[in-house]
């Protein structure tokens, strides 16, 4: 029997299942952050929703913790890295609220189109304002969806029933898969310029924070209506309020905000805006599903059995030889995704050298985990990564050969016209990127990297350094790639900070520079 600490309300059915399994269920809702440090001391499992923050300090205090369960999808309030370092499994309920979130999106879409809350408020206040709150039909309008994960696809299916044309932007969905769903994939600028309604279904990452900001809003089709039931911070609320006030955006409907809970936003004073207090998952059915699912996952973890929704599967499943390469595989997946600008139809993962003698399936999972980890609207684990690949129409091919030309071990990802290769070097097993497209390089993976293709002529390297230096950007590392013919026509530059788009454009316009590609997801 183990003690399970539950700090927020979840479905009683899930708690009863844990009790039936012989565990002591200690419900302590409303516990303060300081008191949580004491409450977690002898708990083997901790179950939370969104209000409890599981920090590194909480994990350190919970010396007996085996598993942390988040009864929902998002993991913003759980320090997964700290949990992993301490060997604590983190599990969630990734499918519990997708239907509720999709339905709430449609509710806000309809409310925004027909001004339902505004008309209700006016009428109950004694004003008959029939002319003021004239709406628009959904039929024959274009719905733009940013993020075509589970929720995005559910929204697309339901919007199609209203006779809407569906376009979407998601570089990690194969065009053929989108066509099967009767959805046209477009780039972000085309979506902004075409959509009558826009709905967001993306994870909150450095790439998506402020995605809908001044620059994006300057490109939208006049009269667009914007809905967000994904994550707060994806929309710049001040910029959106300005666009609504000046009439470029006809209206907006938001369920999530930059800071939560909140009763203060520049959007709240605008009559064209509909808002709800993060109700996307607030249905009885979603809460029941989340409670039942998380209880099941926690029970499996405490029993030492296979846990389908673990988001930080222990590397103990890999051999001693394979295990050190798991972080490298994930980094290569992230870098490849940024380099390729999404997923290809076919991704080949090749293992050369000693690795070929071992079971490398978990390494391929680490590659997929990195590839999808920063772009989906749900956490990615070793378990759900293959399912995500299948849903996005990505075919993964593993090949192995014990013959390695220049390295003891080498992992190569290829597809879509791009390739990246990496290995571990030295006694400490330091990661290195040793191949990029058709060039040989030798650089450690970094958070901010530029790939610069150039004419093989004197002075180009200095020109790149000068432009970055003039912009106040420090070069942390740099290598000149050699092509098979010996031409030095590629540079990989690691910088201490992200390179702004204006500086990238300046590089692209410099003499001798053929292309500049930013990869900032290592």
Q: Which residues are catalytic?
A: 231, 260, 278
By the 8 A CB rule, do 363 and 314 touch? no
By the 8 A CB rule, do 491 and 481 touch? yes
CA distance 311 to 308: 9
Ranges of beta strands (E only) in 170-316 are 184-185, 197-200, 224-228, 249-254, 273-275
Nearest residue to 250 via CA among 201, 279, 217: 217
CA distance 489 to 368: 30
Letter string b/e over residues 399-427, b meaning 16 or more CB atoms within 10 A of that residue's CB = eeeeebeebebbbbbbbeebbbbbbbbee
Cross-sheet strand order for the sheet of 490-495: 475-481, 490-495, 449-454, 513-519
Looking at 253-405, list the stretches that DSSP marks H as alpha helix, in order from N- to C-terminal side.
284-302, 326-340, 361-373, 385-391
Angle CA(450)–CA(203)–CA(521) in degrees, nearest 5? 20
CA distance 344 to 396: 10
Q: Which helix (H) or strand (E) holds 412?
A: strand 409-415
283 phi/psi in degrees, rounded to 5: -125, 155
CA distance 385 to 228: 25
DSSP labels, 63-93: TT--EEEESSS--TTB-HHHHHHTT-EEEE-
By the 8 A CB rule, do 361 and 323 touch? no
385 phi/psi in degrees, rounded to 5: -60, -45
Task: Return the half-sphere exposure (C-beta side, CA atoms, 13 A cut-off) of residue 293.
Answer: 22
In this structure, is the dihedral angle defined by the CA atoms of residues 14, 229, 175 and 361, taken in order, positive or negative?
negative
């Amino acid at each position: 029997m183990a003690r399970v600490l539950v700090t927020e309300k979840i479905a009683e059915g899930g708690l009863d299942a844990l009790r039936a399994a012989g565990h002591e269920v200690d419900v302590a809702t409303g516990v303060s952050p300081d008191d949580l440090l004491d409450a977690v001391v002898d708990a083997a499992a901790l179950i939370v929703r969104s209000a409890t923050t599981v920090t590194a300090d909480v994990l350190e205090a919970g010396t007996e913790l085996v598993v942390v369960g988040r009864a929902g999808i998002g993991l913003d309030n759980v320090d997964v890295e700290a949990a992993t370092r301490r060997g604590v499994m983190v599990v969630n309920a990734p499918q519990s609220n997708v239907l509720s979130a999709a339905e709430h999106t449609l509710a806000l879409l309809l409310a925004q189109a027909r001004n339902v809350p505004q008309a209700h408020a006016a009428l109950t206040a004694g004003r008959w304002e029939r002319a003021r709150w004239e709406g628009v039909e959904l039929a024959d309008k274009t719905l733009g969806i940013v993020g075509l994960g589970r929720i995005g696809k559910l929204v697309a299916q339901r919007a199609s029933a209203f006779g809407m044309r569906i376009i979407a932007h998601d570089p990690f969905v194969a065009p053929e898969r989108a066509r099967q769903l009767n959805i046209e994939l477009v780039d972000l600028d085309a979506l902004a310029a075409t959509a009558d309604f826009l709905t967001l279904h993306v994870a909150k990452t450095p790439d998506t924070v402020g995605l809908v900001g001044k620059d994006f809003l300057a490109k939208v089709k006049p009269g667009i209506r914007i809905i967000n039931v994904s994550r707060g911070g994806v929309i710049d609320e001040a910029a959106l309020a300005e666009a609504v006030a000046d009439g470029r955006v006809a209206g907006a409907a938001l369920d999530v905000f930059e800071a939560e809970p909140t009763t203060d936003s520049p959007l709240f004073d605008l009559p064209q805006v509909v808002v709800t207090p993060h109700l996307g998952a607030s249905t009885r059915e979603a809460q029941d599903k989340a409670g039942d699912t998380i209880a099941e996952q926690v029970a499996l973890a405490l029993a030492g059995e296979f846990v389908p929704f673990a988001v930080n599967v222990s590397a103990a499943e890999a051999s001693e030889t394979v295990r050190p390469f798991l972080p490298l595989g994930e980094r290569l997946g992230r870098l490849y995704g940024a380099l390729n600008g999404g997923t290809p139809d076919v991704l080949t993962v090749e293992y050369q050298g000693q690795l070929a003698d071992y079971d490398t399936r978990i390494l391929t999972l680490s590659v997929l985990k990195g590839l999808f980890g920063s772009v989906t609207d749900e956490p990615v684990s070793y378990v759900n990564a293959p399912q995500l690949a299948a849903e996005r129409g990505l075919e993964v091919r593993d090949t192995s050969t014990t013959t390695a030309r220049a390295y003891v071990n080498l992992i190569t990802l290829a597809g879509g016209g791009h390739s990246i290769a990496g290995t571990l070097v030295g006694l400490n097993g330091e990661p290195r990127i040793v191949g990029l497209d058709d060039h040989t390089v030798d650089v450690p993976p970094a958070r901010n990297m530029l790939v610069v293709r150039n004419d093989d002529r004197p002075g180009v390297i200095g020109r790149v350094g000068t432009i970055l230096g003039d912009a106040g950007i420090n070069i942390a590392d740099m290598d000149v790639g050699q092509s098979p013919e010996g031409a030095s026509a590629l540079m990989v530059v690691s910088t201490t900070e992200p390179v702004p788009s204006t500086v990238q454009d300046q590089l692209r316009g410099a003499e001798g520079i053929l292309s500049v590609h930013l990869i900032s997801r290592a």
